[in-house]
Each structure stands twice: as C-alpha cells, then as structure tokens.
Amino acid sequence: MSQFPTLRTNLCPSPDLCGSCGWSHIPYEKQLQQKLSDINGSFAIKKLRYTVEEIIAAGKTEHYRNRMDFVIDFQGKMGLREKGKWWSVIDDHTCFLGDVKIEELFKITRDWTKTAGLTFFDRKAHTGLLRYAVIRATSIGESMITVVTSAPKDEIERSSVVKALQDLAEVSKATTVVWSINHTITDVSFGDELITITGDGVINENIGGVKYRISPNAFFQTNSHMAAVLLDTVREFAGDLTGKTLMDLYCGTGFFAVAMAGHAKKTIGVELNPDAIRDAKVNAEINKVDVTFHDVATEKFDWMSLGADVVILDPPRSGMHDKALADVIAAKPERIVYVSCNYKNFARELQQLQLHYSIESMRAVDMFPHTPHVELITSLLRRPPAVQA
C-alpha cells in the first residue's frame, strides 16, 4: 500500500476552470516521480550528465499555502482567475491548497465586499476601488488581510474605505488588516502606499525556531510546513561555516541569512526589494544575530571584494541576471548553494557553473504539491586549479 495519499475526486471543485493547482488529478506519488523526471529531462536537454534521485515529499499536501491572492472584479465577484482568462473571476472559489484559516477569512471578506458600500475596480475602464484581497496565515496562528484598492478620489471616499476596513477588521478578527493603495492602473496584487487599519501591519512566523516578521509587500516562503525542510537542506549543503563569510544573494526577508548567521564569522544579505530588507533587518534583530544587509539588485552590487566563502543563490523564477551569474563565477567562492524554483533556468546556468564547480549534492524538495513546481537545492564545490605541467 502506498505511503502517499491517492487522488480524491473532490480536491478541486473547478479543475477545468481554475489553473491554481494543475496536477490535482495526478496521484501524489506519481507527481513526485514526474517532478524528478522533469528535472532530469531538463538536464538531458542541456547535455548535463547529472541525475537528481532524491525528492523529499511534502508532509502536508492540502491546505499548505500560507498566502492566497484573491481577485475582486468589476461585478463584485471574488475568487481566483479562470485559467487563461485574466478578465474572468471564478466567484466564491478559494483553493484546497490554501491554509484553512485563509479559507475562513476568504468567506468573511467576500461577504464583506457585498455590504461595504465600496465600488469595484473595472480593469478595462480603470474605475472603481476594490481590486484584490490578499490573505496570509502563519503556522503560529497569526493572519493578515491586505485589501488592495485604487487611490480614493477625495477625503470623503478615503474615510469611507477606512470605515469599511475597520468593519472588516472587527468581523474577521484577523491579527492585522492593511489597506494597500495602488496609485497606478497596473493590475497587480500590491500597492505603493500601505495603511495599517488594525494590528501591527505585519504578522510573525516561526520556522525551525527562527522568528520572522512578514510585511504585506515582502515575499516569504509560501509553504510554512516545508520551509523548515528547505532550511535544513540549505544548512546541510552549506557545510561548516565556522570562520567563514556567508553571502546570501536574493536574500528576501533574510530567510536563510538570519537562520545561518550564528554559525558564520560574517553574514551578508543582498536584496532588491526595500520592504523585504526592512523585514530582514528586523528579523536579524529579533533573532539576535549580526547580518549586514544591502538594498540593491544583485547584478548591480559589487560584492566580490567582500571575500565570500559560501554563497547562497535563491533567485526568482526567471533565474539569475547574466551579470550576476558572471560575477559569481568571477568571485570563485569556495562553495555555492543554489536554491532553484525553476529547474529549466537552473539547467541553463549549470552549463556555465559546471566549468568551475563540481556538483557535491542535489536534492529536490516538494514545496508545491499538486503543481508542476518544485525546489531544487544544489551544493557546488569550487574545482581546484588545474595542475601545471
């Protein structure tokens, strides 16, 4: 009998309409096999002679996402977008991948939109207020509702939004409710002005004994349940950091840097997102570790003179900027730990990295059950200089 759960027919009520999961029709054991096959297939296409044989299964395959971004359309429908149709919202549709607390708060927020007395954003006419409701929940029981709106027309409308959000805070009992104002017509689920309605405007998480603060616009690992496994793998692959300088590029809110700083002589984090850097500095403070953070794009930061012995790379899905990759190769750190959420881009970059580094370990961690996505962690050790004849 398989140790993995088999497919239940009621996992997703709208599998043909919603593209949030994609693989919910595949038994979980086969999903894991397929992910390994896809990774190794990408390596083969790039003529790389490496094989990933280990994948760590998710301990929880449902209700594992700690963040869901729900769309509110011009008719007041609220839910997830229909697959392939940016303009169409599946009303009252959450997702079985989202935390159960998120589902609870979704129902409350959707009901609130019907009685809040606020207009709905028309993505074609660029009129109206309500655009998104971003709901987050942490493993320690905290929750955040961020309501994204257009900019109010005047003080009367601004007061109406504040009053409505105060009502939402009261009925939802969320740890914090935040008003996020998007002053542009760009259709994104975040704004450039944040107003805290209730609570501290942030929520807290604890992963493997490390404390993290999460603000509305900052990225955090989507799967809190598997984040500790990811962290442990990176720690293992980084090796003994005693007396060494650790560089965490694309560090975000300091997920790796803060957790590992206590073991290194010096730790440096680099991140483009200023909101994330602010959180990272707080995270270092509350965990009582010393990390130097730089708010700058990795490809624009001259870090090669800082003498990094171990470099962690955790770039976005698009992969590394060409200059950033060239800088890493030129800096020649002793060890690289590459955390990739896009193995196809990693395979392309590995074609260059393998000329200077040998692969010590590779391991996949399934952070995203019922989707084709997977995290691939690789430990690369600098090759010794060629022996002169």
Which amino acids are annotated catalytic? 341
Name every residue whose Cβ is closer than 8 Å to that of residue 183 and which is 6 or more positions away in sequence: 150, 151, 191, 192, 193
Helix residue ranges, H only, the chain? 28-45, 100-115, 155-172, 224-238, 255-260, 274-286, 322-331, 343-353
**CA angle (187, 12, 6) in 5-degree steps:** 135
Q: Are 107 and 97 in contact (CB under 8 A)?
A: no
**Which strands, in side-by-side order, build the sheet including 310-313?**
55-56, 357-365, 375-382, 335-340, 310-313, 245-249, 266-271, 292-295
Which is it for strands 310-313 and 245-249: parallel, antiparallel or unpaired?
Answer: parallel
Q: Report the interhelical angle of 28-45 vs 343-353 (nearest 10°).
A: 40
3-state secondary structure 367-386: CCCCCCCCEEEEEEEECCCC
Q: Are 133 and 192 in contact (CB under 8 A)?
A: no
Q: In angstroms, rounded to a whole number, what is the distance separating the alpha carbons of residues 346 and 40? A: 12
Q: In angstroms, rounded to a whole number, what is the distance separating the alpha carbons of residues 274 and 228? A: 25
3-state secondary structure of 152: coil
